[in-house]
């Protein structure tokens, strides 16, 4: 649905009902397309299918445009959710740059796109809920109830999982598609030149930090199985934010498991994270602890991290009555360890989550400082379009609450192809070869889902 049509057709009808807990894989395969998946530590996992409404926007006002369209959509809702977890939500994201190109693999991803699913299956602490939505002048409660009966019959009859169920892979690589060939967008020589040029700008005082990324294109033996890929990501990275966004049922999907939350709001309470500074994992517990200690003591990584913490505080300050940064800690993931500082704030007034998304994006963890100079450097240096990589992806509800993560540790899946993205922060004493090696570590979560071991 065109956002401009919402003013003439604002009626929203939503109904929900609890069902027996189905298997994630079965839900994903049974639900209509295009599909979205969202998960977060401490939140429910949602699989959405179809589009009762689609909001799109472009240009410098894309955040405000989506916010206004969302408020119009939710303004006159006939909603009976039964539980907060089953409430209707919009799911989607934004491009990193405000004037993104439309080249492959991002040609089906506009600069901003949110979908209001026709069917939403939510696995929450209090059970699994099926939500059916309709939007438009002819949206009818009786018809939605009929569709809900059908959906309950469909999803309630799928392979039942116990509470807390986690699927295991009996075969370590049962359905990974396998990689035929790989193509880097950036050679080692080009990378060294780009990093050295960025370091020169930093030492000249034009920049404090910039995040430079690479893209890795892979030709696959078969299509990457989307259900299995996102299911394994959410189980392997329980402290991350697994997501999948399809815009075209027969085309591309943006998928990942990001460790970085951009912002989460509930009423006037805001939570966000500073995540910058990286090392690998050890082969033994002792080596792992040594690497973590080295990371915590490393001046270059500490400086990079502190830049992110200070910038987030500055970006939140115009909205906040108070801001609290927690103690710096180590966040351990399967392949890497990060410096992590949780940040909370209390807002002066009720503020829509997209106002905060606009204020925070891009954080120095994926852009740099000062922002304008960093974005200029990124555009000049990177020989590809970031698209939705390192940009906000998440959800919005009728109250203006929501959670958004930063779309890193991610890839675009296409028929028999995938494009992976990863980036690193460059500061004055960065070494190009060390940063190259860090990027290879950050490809691992997605590469592990594509390689078949051959």
Which positions are annotated as active-site residues?
209, 260
Q: What's the CA gap between 161 and 335, in Å, rounded?
A: 29
- The beta-strand segments (E) located in 20-117 are 35-38, 45-49, 53-57, 76-80, 89-94, 112-116
List all residues 6 or more positions away from 388 whose beta carbon is below 8 Å from its beta carbon.
93, 94, 95, 96, 106, 109, 245, 254, 407, 410
Q: What's the CA gap between 157 and 25, in Å, rounded?
A: 13
Q: What's the CA gap between 68 and 267, in Å, rounded?
A: 18
Q: What's the CA gap between 49 and 30, in Å, rounded?
A: 9
Place of tokens 């700008």: 201
The answer to whether the CB of 353 falls within 8 A of the CB of 263 is yes
The answer to whether the CB of 442 falls within 8 A of the CB of 409 is yes
Q: What's the CA gap between 84 and 19, in Å, rounded?
A: 15
CA dihedral 75, 80, 86, 90 (to 10 degrees): -20
The answer to whether the CB of 204 falls within 8 A of the CB of 243 is no
Per this entry, what is the length of the chain?
454
């Amino acid at each position: 649905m065109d956002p401009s049509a919402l003013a003439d057709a604002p009626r929203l009808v939503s109904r929900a009902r609890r069902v027996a807990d189905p298997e994630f894989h079965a839900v994903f395969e049974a639900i209509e397309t295009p599909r979205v998946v969202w998960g977060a530590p401490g939140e429910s996992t949602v699989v959405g299918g179809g589009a009762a409404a689609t909001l799109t926007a472009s240009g410098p006002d894309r955040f405000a445009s989506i916010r206004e369209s969302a408020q119009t959509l939710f303004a006159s809702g006939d909603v009976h959710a039964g539980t907060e977890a089953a409430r209707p939500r919009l799911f989607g994201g934004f491009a990193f740059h405000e004037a993104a190109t439309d080249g492959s693999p991002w040609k089906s991803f506009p600069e901003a796109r949110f979908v209001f699913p026709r069917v939403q299956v939510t696995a929450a602490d209090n059970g699994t809920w099926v939500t059916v939505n309709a939007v438009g002048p002819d949206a009818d409660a009786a018809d939605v109830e009929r569709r809900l009966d059908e959906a309950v019959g469909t999803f309630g009859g799928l392979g039942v999982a116990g509470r807390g169920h986690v699927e295991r892979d009996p075969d370590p690589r049962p359905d990974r598609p396998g990689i035929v060939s790989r193509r880097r967008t950036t050679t080692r020589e080009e990378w060294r030149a780009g990093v050295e040029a960025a370091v020169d700008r930093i030492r000249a005082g034009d920049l404090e930090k910039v995040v430079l990324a690479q893209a890795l294109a892979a030709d696959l033996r078969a299509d990457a199985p989307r259900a299995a890929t996102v299911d394994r990501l959410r189980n392997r990275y329980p402290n991350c934010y697994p997501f999948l966004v399809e815009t075209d049922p027969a085309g591309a999907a943006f998928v990942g498991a990001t460790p970085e939350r951009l912002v989460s709001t509930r009423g006037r309470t805001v939570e966000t994270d500073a995540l910058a500074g990286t090392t690998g994992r050890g082969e033994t517990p002792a080596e792992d602890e040594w690497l973590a200690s080295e990371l915590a003591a490393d001046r270059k990584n500490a400086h990079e991290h502190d830049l992110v913490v200070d910038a987030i505080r500055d970006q939140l300050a115009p909205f906040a009555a108070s801001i609290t940064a927690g103690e710096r800690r180590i966040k351990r993931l399967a392949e890497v360890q990060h410096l992590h500082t949780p940040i909370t704030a209390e807002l002066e007034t009720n503020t829509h989550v997209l106002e905060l998304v606009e204020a925070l994006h891009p954080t120095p963890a994926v852009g740099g400082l000062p922002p304008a100079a960093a974005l200029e450097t990124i555009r000049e240096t990177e020989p590809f379009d970031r698209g939705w990589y390192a940009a906000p992806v998440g959800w919005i509800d009728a109250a203006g609450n929501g959670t958004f993560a930063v779309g890193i540790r991610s890839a675009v899946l296409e028929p028999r192809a995938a494009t992976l993205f990863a980036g690193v922060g460059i500061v004055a004493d960065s070494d190009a070869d060390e940063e190259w090696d860090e990027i290879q570590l950050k490809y691992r979560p997605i590469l592990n889902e594509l390689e078949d071991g051959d």
